[in-house]
Amino acid sequence: MSKNSYRKAHHVILKKTAPFIILLLCFCLAGCNSCGDTKSWSDYLFPVIGDVNLAQDAPWPMWQHDPSHTGRSPFNGPTSVTAATYDTPLCCFGIFGSPVIDAGSHVFVGSIRSAGDTLTCDFFANPEEGASGLLHGIDYDGAVLEGFPYDSHRGSVMATAIECAPIILDDGSVIFGKDDGYMYRVGNDGSLVWESPSDDPFDSSDPVNDNEQMIPSPLLGADNTVVFLSHFSDVYGPGPTADAVAFACPDLDPFPFKGTASQWYSKIYALDARTGWRKWVFDPEDDPASGGQPMVGWGSPALGPDGSYIICLMHAQLAGDHYVPTTGRVFAIGPDGSRRWVYPAEGEGPLDYSLWTSPVISPSGYIYVGASDYTYTTKVARLYSLTPEGALRWYYDFTDENTIAASPSLLSDGTIIVATQNRSTALPSLPAGKYGRIYALTDYGDHADEQWRYPAAGTVPWGFYSSPLVDASGHIYIASEPFSFGGAETGVLIGLESDGDLMFSVALDGVVHGNLALGSDGALVVPQRKSPRLLVFY
């Protein structure tokens, strides 16, 4: 680890323990040199802190519940609801992130702090005002936890959100990333434990410049390692948003958007979860399988059975005046930051599909990845299944749909639950069958077959960004972010039996982009993006 890597993190811990560290450093360096130990310095510098682990007593401690992203809870959820028991409005623009729940039934969720629901000319004319996504800590009934919401006071006009789900550690602290390009660990009292920047964090002296965004949810691996995937998406480049701002705000001077697009890219960062110090960085552009080209990812890494971090990445190409994701690959990154395998293998071309989602890993180590036709021509979505070593087992085509933006979930018997969405270019004149649905597939080893689907063709133009949540009894819960095409931006919360029969359907007054969470008392927590609020159903 380079000295520069250490300088890039600012730590409250360091200030409190500096005298002890100096003495310990002298002792440890001598010991390391004499015994040839290969552990990182932080393993010696901070033994007093102890190891960090995922909160085992938390009912929903991370994105999709566990490091395998099964989306399966050990508790039962509600079977019949008509309205939210608790309805807590949250500030500002909306909620793109997903909630987590600790053992005390406290909910932590990130929001977007902005000038409002629509773009305003004043906001773009005064970017120095900044914007900062908030980490909320609340009870089910909306009571705010002491020290929250946490505000880092960093963020550009266009990159203002906490879009990930935090991780809850066994000491009650939470780790999360933010669009400002920083990773944070915050105590359960709202105090900062550490913060660590990416290679391109938000620069307050240039607030309309792009930076890496920490959009996907972090993953806690072995040896106190927390892994983040960054995402550079050129939010100030040309494209539909820039065109809309130029039309709505013709007097903006200087105009904050660039005339030339910048390539999208991602990096994988590994930090010491105790201190925030950087362990390594994996840059896909440096990997031979990428062809020397940047690659970008949207989904969270999953933890493989051998400790590898399984990550979906995509190439991006210029489409007109802005970049869009195209072909994808699945990477397995070892605990030391080196690539173990890639699918398709090095020397083979990438998949003709985009990989927007996170991998899901079964107890047997089989990997499931949702894929989408990025050309929007074949109108086919696909689910891939890989071995733990990265070889193809099978793939299954959903011929009625063309996009999977939500990660699959797994029932306890191995049934795979997949949610799709419609992204047809023929809107609003949708042919029958071109609607988002929920599917149940059985894995037979060399192929998969459909068990059931919900709903019937042509019922509602649902789209699912939210991944399915399954409870201990196999009940399935999911909320929609529909493409309503008529301006009525409302979603639906649905509950299904394990055989696909409807338990309940509840109309919402907004849409849901993030994933749901389930408490130990059966509380189903729903983050509503538009008309931003946290809804709790019993």
> What whole-number percentage of the chain has pLDDT above 90?
67
- Decide if 3 is inside a domain: no
The C-alpha atoms of residue 453 and residue 457 are separated, in whole angstroms, by 10
Angle among Cα 326, 328, 331 to the nearest 5 degrees reads 150
Q: What is the CATH number of the domain that holds 466?
A: 2.140.10.10
> Where would I find the H helices in 199-308?
240-248
The C-alpha atoms of residue 436 and residue 291 are separated, in whole angstroms, by 34
The confidence band for 155, taking pLDDT boundaries of 50, 70 and 90, is confident
Residue 485 has pLDDT above 70, yes or no: no
Instruction: Write the burial class of residue 120 (CB in 10 Å: 0-12 exposed, 13-18 middle, 19+ buried).
Output: middle
The two tokens of residue 393 are: 């087992």
The confidence band for 500, taking pLDDT boundaries of 50, 70 and 90, is very high
Backbone angles phi and psi of 220, in degrees to 5: -100, 120
- Decide if 459 is inside a domain: yes
- Give the lowest-confidence range in 23-27, 106-110, 490-494: 23-27
- Decide if 8 is inside a domain: no
pLDDT of residue 274: 97
Residue type, 373: D
Across 113-220, the runs of DSSP E, i.e. the strands, are 134-139, 150-151, 167-168, 174-177, 182-186, 192-197, 219-220
- Decide if 38 is inside a domain: no
- Could you list the residue range(s) of the whole structural domain that residue 316 is in? 51-537
- Decide if 9 is inside a domain: no
Q: Which residues have a Cβ under 8 Å from the Cβ of 434 and sit 6 or more positions away?
A: 379, 400, 401, 422, 424, 426
Across 253-366, the runs of DSSP E, i.e. the strands, are 268-272, 278-282, 302-303, 309-319, 322-333, 339-343, 360-361
The C-alpha atoms of residue 193 and residue 1 are separated, in whole angstroms, by 21
The C-alpha atoms of residue 192 and residue 186 are separated, in whole angstroms, by 5
Q: Which residue has the tokens 């990438």?
A: 350
The C-alpha atoms of residue 234 and residue 417 are separated, in whole angstroms, by 33
Residue 446 has pLDDT above 90, yes or no: yes
The two tokens of residue 481 are: 């972010």
For the stretch 113-124, pLDDT in tens is 765 545 678 888
- Decide if 385 is inside a domain: yes
Which H helix or E strand runs over 21? helix 12-35
* Tally of domains in the chain: 1
Using alpha carbons, select from 37, 7, 70 the residue that is nearest to residue 417.
Answer: 70
Angle among Cα 466, 469, 475 to the nearest 5 degrees reads 135
For the stretch 280-316, pLDDT in tens is 999 999 999 999 999 999 999 999 999 999 999 999 9
> Where would I find the H helices in 270-325?
none
For the stretch 207-217, pLDDT in tens is 889 999 999 99
- Decide if 27 is inside a domain: no
> What whole-number percentage of the chain has pLDDT above 70?
83
SS3 354: strand
- Decide if 339 is inside a domain: yes
How long is the chain? Answer: 538
Average pLDDT over residues 383-399: 96
Residue 407 has pLDDT above 90, yes or no: yes
